[in-house]
Each structure stands twice: as C-alpha cells, then as structure tokens.
Amino acid sequence: MRGTQIADARGEVWFHSVYPAWYMQRTVHVHFKIFIDDKAMLTGQMYFPDALSQYIFANVGAYRRKAERTVFNNNDQFARSDTTRGGFCDIKEEADHYQSTLIVGVSRSVATTLDRAAPPPAQARAIVPGVAPAKQKNS
C-alpha cells in the first residue's frame, strides 16, 4: 500500500491502513519518507512488536500462510541496527483496531542522504483504500 500525506501545522500525520504483512528475509515493517524540503528527505522504517505480529498471523485468516516466518525484529538486518529502538512503534489496542504511534524528530541542521525521487505534489492527498476522503486527516 502506498500513499502520500501532508503534515498538519504541528507536523503530524495520521492515516488508516491494514496491519503490514511480512515477506521473506524481513521482519514486519512499514517504510516512510519525510520530505524536509524540495531536495532533502529522511527515509526510515517503522517496526511492529513480534508478539502481536505472530498473534495476527496465526489468528486472522487473511494473514495465514504456508511459509513459516523466520525473520523477526532481533534477526532482521535493519531492525537490529536500530540500537535506540527509535523505529519501533508503540501499539494501543482499541475495540476494533490497533493504533500504532511513531514519533520521528527531524533536524534541518543535520546532513541527510539525498534521494533522487521527486517530492510529492504540493496538493497531495492520502490514498488509503477503504477510507472515505472526508474521514482522512489531510490538511
């Protein structure tokens, strides 16, 4: 699933999505990019608790697979390198969904790796299947 959202005046972005699945050689994660200006960006990954992932994969039919998951947070090459655990989200269980939170601080004074990808259009809107545009928090 892919989408683009513009942060609000406080620099916050909210979106609805499905729980991410896993693929061979990686733990459960979501990629994100934060555009700092028209050339610089921060690229990162958000990781999910292994226990919750295992529960969902074992108990939610859409996530069941014949293949066995062998990569977890402790042996994923990228998650393991996150020694501060700053990319690991907090999870809150709600009545009918889970809410994950990740706080990312961005400093304009720290050098960043430039990515050749173009920034999103100025009037970008979220593309979240199944969520009505009026319910998405775009600014």
Amino acid (one-letter) located at 11:
G
pLDDT, averaged per 10 consecutive residues of the chain (139 residues), comes to 80 87 92 81 89 92 89 93 88 90 78 52 48 59
Residue labelled with tokens 């959202």: 5
pLDDT value of position 83: 86
CA–CA gap between residue 75 and residue 78 (Å, rounded): 9
pLDDT value of position 135: 66
pLDDT value of position 122: 47
Neighbouring residues of 139: CB distance < 8 A, sequence distance ≥ 6: 6, 7, 8, 9
Print the SS3 string covering 106-121.
CCCCCCCCECCCCCCC
pLDDT value of position 42: 81
